[in-house]
Amino acid sequence: MSDHPASSSMPALTRTPRRGRVVPGSEQEKRLREIWESRPGWRGWFSTVDHKTIGLRYLVTAFVFLLMGGVEALIMRIQLARPNATVLTPEQYNQLFTMHGLTMIFLYALPVLSGFSNYLWPLVLGARDMAFPRLNALSYWVFLFAGIFLYASFPTGQAPDAGWFNYVPLSGLEYSNGPNIDVYALGMVLLGISTTVGAMNFVVTLLRMRAPGMSLDRVPVLVWGTLTASGGNLLAVPSVSLAFLMLWMDRRIGTHFFDVLNSGRPLLWQHLFWIFAHPWVYVVVLPAMGIVSDALPVFCRRPLVGYGPVALATVATMVIGFAVWIHHMFATGIPALALSFFGSASMIIAVPSAVATFAWVATIWTGRPVYRVPFLFFAGFVLLFVIGGVSGVMTAAVPFDWQLTDTYFVVAHLHYVLLGINVFPVIGGIYFWFPKFTGKMTNERLGKLAFWVLFIGFNVAFFPMHIAGLLGMPRRMYTYPADMGWNTVNLVTSLGSFVFAAGVLLFLIDIAVSLKRGKLAGNNPWDAPTLEWSVSSPPPPYNFAVVPTLASRHPLWEGRIEEPGAANQTRSQLDEGYLLAQGREALGTTALEASPDVILKMPEDSYAPFWLAVFAALLFAGLALTAWVFVGAMLAGCAVSIIAWLWPERALIQREPVAVEDAGG
């Protein structure tokens, strides 16, 4: 069956009786579970398209890459802890910091947020799955194999070594003629496929899969963050994919896109890369900000202050983000007029960020904060967000940037905005939704200890980098003389890095212990207001026995708070709605008002996404080795996988449409 949900406005919509519900263990519930549950064992493991399983896989895999990138960072900090160290050779250091950068930015920062969104989106939107379940599975498998592909040359000492930014001509054949840069270029194109199909899935899911009554002004901010990031990906990823493909063609086919001796333009690489990479900063920040905007108010016992401005600021941040890529190229000889325009845009982008910051602070100030572990991580994030934002505005000033470009000041800013602003909301989000993921609570005491170790270690590790940059220490250097005045700041940074690593270890211990011995959580241990907390923990395979109908932004807090227009609203109906149980069915709604529109026939589990990802990864391996016969064979494998994916199911072909009827309510 095609991944595109078949639709019909004809099959019967059946309502449960008014004020009724599908009772757990009833025949209706057993029928739904049988329809939606994946097969047990290895067959289900490889064929499942359940968004919850895929989301958890994203989270676990991204954290594995986080640990790998962290180990690479610790080795580099051992090298830099003292002057004139010889732990690493220059070539080993180049490979380590390149792999560290691409791992943390491309294999951890966005995929971990995709994990949250894959798991939570259908639950917070009141849907039974993502719009394209098989495409969802494909995005994960391609991400996994792209990560393995990028690390394939690492054990042989031929890992990418031109920096995660991969500037030409340093990444050209004249400076690097091994397989390392080819692996990076092709791996990023493969990873771009995963990112693009995932972004398409999120956009369509929002437009067509929201619960009835969930108009756009009732969508959680987490959804706004991921939607905006997905839109940014659809526009930005083609740019960097094209750049890496052109680089690979220069290296292996003989083109001259970046070869200045043959009328190529090396600066073209920077334009294509940074028009992707600066919006990417917001891609890995906006969903994290959405996590904070939705979860922080729960611990303040009040709704988020300024929902509308925060949602608008989220979209504005991404829009302006596409006008600041030359922020990274101020020292490349760009004309003064362009410098003034892009410098101004780089400062203006602080405005929507400030709107969100004031909303969080106002929510805490006007609420009644409960100091649980997730709240600590969210509050810590706000402070790190301000520090990272201020240093970003500083480098937006062209004369200041000229002085500090390519120094450790920029490294400090990068880690505050890509690590601090991402990791703290992510860990806070895991603590917040861990009861929903597993049905168990984490250890409060161990969680608070992990927070303080992480928070102190992070600032001890990365704040001194600002000072090192002001003292003139260049980035990307593998050692330094003893008389430069950088000894103390580097030693402190290295010590702080190990403290931060200890905090990550404490967090992982807490998660492992809680999985085994955690107290039972119940459906809604935090007394949160959104739809995912209205179902059991963990959620059933079908998410919602009946598709809920919403009448407010906070359906589980109705009766406690007043929302705009509440006097003219009915209450949300979470136990009464459309019961869709004739196969895997989901309710499609209109894009703006989320009015019931169509029944969507969702695809069954399938091995096709897994095998398509396998053949695609092997195809790129063949391109890296220039084994053209092998490439042709893998193309045939991809074609067979796509045919199997799209092959229609007999049951769907034979089914006769029946007229819509309302059987109650």
Render pLDDT for 185-208 as a digit per residue (tens, 0 to 9): 999 999 999 999 999 999 999 999
Confidence of residue 662 (pLDDT cuts 50, 70, 90): very low
More confident residue, 360 or 330: 360
> Using one digit for the tens of pLDDT, what is the confidence trace for 159-195?
898 989 999 999 988 888 888 899 999 999 999 999 9
Q: Alpha carbon of 116 to those of 103, 122, 421, 574: distances in Å?
A: 19, 11, 16, 23
Q: What pLDDT score was predicted for residue 396?
A: 87
- Average pLDDT over the chain, rounded to an integer: 89
pLDDT at 665: 29
Instruction: Return the pLDDT at 565.
Output: 54
How does pLDDT run across 274-320, given as a tens digit for each residue?
999 989 989 999 999 999 999 999 999 999 999 999 999 999 999 99
641 has pLDDT over 90: yes
Q: What is the mean pLDDT of residues 391-419?
A: 90
Alpha-carbon radius of gyration of the chain: 25
Question: Residue 664: is its pLDDT beyond 50?
Answer: no
Distance in Å from the first CA to the final CA of the chain: 33
Token pair 């391109």: residue: 623
pLDDT of residue 416: 93
| DSSP assignment of 173-187 | TTT--SSHHHHHHHH
Q: Is the pLDDT of residue 1 over 50?
A: no
Share of the chain above pLDDT 70, in %: 92
- pLDDT of 395 > 90? The answer is no
Collapsing DSSP to helix, strand or coil, 140 comes out as helix
Residue 474 per-residue DSSP state: B
Peptide bond into 529 cis (omega under 30): no
- Kindly list the domain boundaries of the chain, sorted by start residue: 44-517
Q: At a CB cut-off of 8 Å and minimum separation 6, what does 17 contact?
A: 576, 664, 665
pLDDT average, residue stretch 125-153: 95
Span 29-56, pLDDT tens digits: 888 888 899 888 899 999 999 999 999 9
Residue type, 114: S
The secondary structure element, H or E, covering residue 586 is strand 585-589
Quote the pLDDT of residue 558.
Answer: 85
pLDDT of residue 346: 87
Amino acid at 181: I
pLDDT, position 104: 94
Q: Which residue has the higher pLDDT, 150 or 583?
A: 150
Instruction: Tell whether the model's pLDDT for residue 437 goes beyond 60.
Output: yes
* Gap between the Cα atoms of 293 and 299, Å rounded: 11
pLDDT at 503 over 90: yes
**Overall fold of domain 44-517:** Cytochrome C Oxidase; Chain A (1.20.210)
CB of 221 closer than 8 Å to CB of 243? no
> Is-cis flag, bond preceding 297, omega within 30?
no
Task: Look at residue 25 in the predicted model and tell me its pLDDT.
Answer: 60
Tell me which residue of 571, 543, 540 sits closest to 555, measured CA to CA.
571
Q: What is the pLDDT of residue 579?
A: 80
Mean pLDDT across 214-243: 94
pLDDT tens-digit series, residues 57-91: 999 999 999 999 999 999 999 999 999 999 999 99
| Residue 543 near residue 123 (C-beta atoms within 8 A) | yes
Rounded Cα distance, 406 and 332, in Å: 12
The pLDDT score that the predictor gives to residue 9 is 46
The mean pLDDT of 493-498, rounded to a whole number, is 96
**What is the residue-wise DSSP string for 375-419?**
HHHHHHHHHHHHHHHHHHHHHHSHHHHHHHTTBHHHHHHHHIIII
Distance CA 326, CA 4 (A): 39
Q: For residue 240, what pLDDT is reported?
A: 94
Q: Cα 416 to chain center, whole Å?
A: 17
Say yes or no to pLDDT of 441 above 70.
yes
* Per-residue pLDDT tens over the stretch 461-477: 999 999 999 999 999 89
* Whether the predicted pLDDT of 663 surpasses 80: no
What mean pLDDT do residues 391-409 have?
Answer: 89
